Amino acid sequence: MKILANDGISQSGIEVLTEAGFEVITTNVAQEQLANYINENNITVLLVRSATTARKELIDSCPKLKVIGRGGVGMDNIDVEYAREKGLSVINTPAASSSSVAELVFAHLYGGVRFLYDSNRNMPLEGETHFNGLKKAYAKGIELRGKTMGIIGFGRIGQEVAKIALGVGMKVVAADKYIEEANVSVVLFDGQSLNIVIKTLSVEEVLKQSDFISLHVPAQKDYVIGSKEFDMMKKGAAIVNAARGGVIDEVALVDALDNNKLSFACLDTFENEPKPELKLLMHSKISLTPHIGAATLEAQDRIGTELGQQIISILG
C-alpha cells in the first residue's frame, strides 16, 4: 500500500513504515492537484501537517483513501468528522511535540524579558556606532523566577509549559474548561520526579494574576483574547501564542502594545498564515517565529514513528 506524506515525514517514520511493507512517497503535491495525484497513484494513506488541507471535497474525490494522518496536534485543516462518517480513520500525534512547543514558549519568554528580539535586530545595525546607547536601552531586563505564569488551555502542551515554569521557579496558574485539576510531574535528569497538583481557575482570574500568559487552545470561531481580555491583564504583562493563529485578536494586540498595556508579545502562529500582517512583522515589541513550535528534530522523529505505528495497527 502507498502512503503520501505530502508535508514530509521523518526518516524514522519512513523506516518504520517501509519495514512493514508500505511504500512511502514524500513528493509535495500542490493542493489543487492533490486529489488527482492520490487517485492516479492509488494512495491509501494521506499524511499532512499544517500546509495541506483534507476537506470534504478531497475526501469525496478520493474513494480509495483509508487513513488521513496529521503530524502534530491540531486537526483543524482536516474535516475529521466527515472523514470518519465516510469510514476513514483519522489519526494524529497529540503528545509527540508537546515538549518542543513548551521549550519554544520559554525561548520566546527569555528573549522577551531580556529584549533579545529587539537587540538582535539593532546590534547588527548600530552595535558598532551606538554600543553604549544600546547597552543602556536593554539594561532593564527582568527575571522569570518569582513571576506568575498563566496558562490558558491546560492539556498536554500546557502542562509541559507548567513543568518548565515550575523548574524556573515561577508560580503557575491555569485555566481550562475541561480540566479541574492536573497532577504535573516534573521529571529530573536522574529520574526523580516532583509531583504538583494544579487546580484550574477561570480565564478571567488567570488573566488578572499573571505576569506572562501562554495560550494552548485549539482554533475556534471566536477570539480567546481580545480587547476585553487585554484590559483584564496586568499593566506590563506579556503574552505568547504558540497555539493557533486566530485565537488572539491581532488588532487589539497591537493596540495593547502601542499603549503600553503589554510589555511585549511572542507569536509563533498568525491569523493570516503564510502571510502575517506587516504591522506584526515590523513591530518593535513582538518576538517572532514562523510557526515552528513542533519543528525540532526530536519531535519530528517522535511524530514519524508514532504515525507509522498507528498506520501499521490500522492497516497492518
The pLDDT score that the predictor gives to residue 72 is 87
CATH class of 2-96+297-315: alpha beta
Residues in the chain where the model's pLDDT stays below 70: none
* pTM, full prediction: 0.90
10 Å Cβ neighbour count for 44? 19
Strands (E), 153-234: 171-175, 181-187, 193-199, 212-215
What Rg value do the Cα atoms of the chain yield, rounded?
21
- Asked if residues 149 and 212 have their Cβ atoms less than 8 Å apart, the reply is yes
The pLDDT score that the predictor gives to residue 50 is 85
Measured torsion, CA atoms of residues 276, 278, 281, 285, in degrees rounded to the nearest 10: -120
The pLDDT score that the predictor gives to residue 219 is 87
The pLDDT score that the predictor gives to residue 127 is 97
What are the structural domain ranges in the chain? 2-96+297-315, 98-288
Architecture of 98-288 per CATH?
Answer: 3-Layer(aba) Sandwich (3.40)
Give the residue numbers annotated as catalytic, written as ranges: 244, 273, 291
Query: Do the domains 98-288 and 2-96+297-315 match in fold?
Result: yes
